[in-house]
Amino acid sequence: MSIGPFFALIPMAKKLRKAEGEVQKVYLDSFRFAVRLTKHAGHVLVVSGILLVALGPWTWKTSWIVMTVVIMMSSLFFLARAFSPLLKKFMEVGHEREQLVKKLSWTTVAYILLLLLMLWFMVTKPALW
């Protein structure tokens, strides 16, 4: 739930280039919903991660856990600073649609890559130090 919705948003961003009026509003609402869903799914991810560390064989100083936490904090900052202000700009009069769509597409892909990196650490559990 933290990463899946963003894969659906990539083709939606391309359709946003030509969308007008109510159709544009629906696409932007979909982006807002995906961001909200990701935030709440992140809560589940954090709680389950804390439980796994508390009940499992790992410590908080394990390299892959440290890297996962660092990436998670980065993704929270990225999510808060990248999507909401950008989506608000679409509602401004005289906005540069093509530029905003490009930035929204890049932001979506960058966020997916950030989450995939975090997922890689959680799955492969590499010993970095």
Prediction pTM value: 0.82
Chunked in runs of 10, what are the mean pLDDT values of the chain (129 residues)? 82 84 87 86 87 93 94 84 84 81 89 91 91
Alpha helices, H only, the chain: 4-16, 21-55, 63-89, 97-124
- CA nearest 79: which of 48, 51, 47, 45? 45
Q: What is the pLDDT of residue 10?
A: 87
Which residue is listed with tokens 């499992």? 56
